[in-house]
Structure 1
Amino acid sequence: MLFLLGAALSVGSLSAQSGSMNQMLNDYLVVKEALVKGDVKQASTGAGQLVATITTVDLATLSETDKKAFSAVSAELLKQAQVIAGAKEVEKQRAGLAALSQQLWPLVKGSDAIGRTVFYDYCPMKQSYWLSAEVAIRNPFYGSQMLGCGKVDDKINE
């Protein structure tokens, strides 16, 4: 019985650990998809949720690797999420996404908590990267103007 309790605590701990990292990724993907559509309001709302997630990450629930990586980039992640949340123009939000993506990718790529496939896509026209949950290119920097512009540059967990 005691062994089972220990196993349950261990699983709960893993759940909390993967929860913070995965929630950050989920919030980011909401912002990215909103920018694919050119939806300023939805991007702002999603970025506001990302701000909340970043500011409430419990470092005690992260692995040592994730804790170190998150601590190194959290201030910049927060800054760029705030830029996107506060911007009233889609181009400013897209610029914020480019900076946010550069900071988030090493964190996601090096995390032992992300258990799904994530793609790191590149737009040669903007010379910028973004993260995606699907292999299909859906460019958030140009939206419907150049939706398919880009290529997969890297990936994890495929």
Structure 2
Amino acid sequence: MKKIIALAFICLSSLAQAQLTSKEEVAPELTAKREAQKKEITNNYLALKNNLLISDSIAVVKNATALQNSLQSFKFKKLTLEKMNEATIKRKEIIELAAEVASTKNINKQRKVFQSLSVKFWDLAPKFKAEDTALFLQVCPMTGAGWVSDSKEIKNPYYPKNMLTCGEVKASL
């Protein structure tokens, strides 16, 4: 009986040590890769918003496609099954909205879809935000349209000619 217990203890110790070793060896690269993915997603969204600001519909198509691609390879971590399903559904909705933005060169249609995309993006922003990035939810009180920015300075992507500075910061991460 003592031999079986000793053998079981040795096996469990070896397994625990192997898990610790593999986590120590892999974690830094995986953590760096994950942070790079988060930064790419955030930067693609912000580039999309910034090109709506300057009314560059061709660049908006490019940014929407880039956002779509970066989101497709992103995997959620440390969530319960229910939260994982909810986040996966929202990510899919953002991807579909980004595809819709990319499917038109009409800047007004792009802005309209971007409103829905921004709401869903903000819901998942805590999962997408890179550690060294601050994000702000901004809303135009005249229209109720919101967007995410990396600056507290208001630059309204929906009405850049008439209401560029119309908006307020509603939340931050």
TM-score (norm 1): 0.85
Against the structure 1 CA distance between its residues 138 and 94, is the aligned structure 2 distance closer, same or farther, given a 3 Å change threshold? same
- Which residue identity lines up with residue 40 of structure 1 in the other structure? S
Post-superposition, which runs of at least 4 consecutive aligned residues in structure 1 deviate over 6 A? Answer: 2-5
Could you say which structure has the greater relative contact order, defined with CA pairs below 8 angstroms and 6 or more residues apart? 1
Of 70, 78, 93, which aligns to 1:64?
Answer: 78
Matched, 1:32 2:49: yes
Q: 1:129 aligns with which of 146, 149, 155?
A: 146
SS of equivalent to 2:110: helix
- On the 8 A contact 1:17/1:63 being kept in 2, the answer is no
**Which amino acid in 1 is paired with 2:156?**
N
Relative to structure 1, the CA distance from residue 132 to residue 56 in structure 2 (aligned partners, 3 Å threshold; closer, same or farther) is same
Q: Aligned partner of 2:36: which letter?
A: G
TM-fit CA distance, 1:112: 7.8
Asked whether the 8 Å contact 1:108–1:114 carries over to 2, the reply is: no
Unaligned runs of 5+ in 1: none
| Greater Rg by CA | 2
Distance 1:7 1:113, change over 3 A: farther
Counterpart for residue 75 of structure 1: 92
**CA shift digits 1:98-130 (9 cap, x unpaired):** 101111112113x28531110000012221110
Task: Spell out the pairing of 1:38-49 with structure 2 (5 A cutoff).
Answer: 38-49=55-66
SS of residue paired to 1:145: coil
Which of 106, 130, 136 is equivalent to 1:114?
Answer: 130
2:169 equivalent in structure 1: 152
Q: What secondary structure does 1:121 align onto?
A: strand
**SS in structure 2 at match of 1:11:** helix
**Unpaired stretches in structure 2, ≥5 consecutive residues:** 1-17
Task: Assess, with a 3 A threshold, how the Cα gap between structure 1 residues 70 and 19 changes in structure 2: closer, same or farther.
Answer: farther
SS at match of 1:64: coil
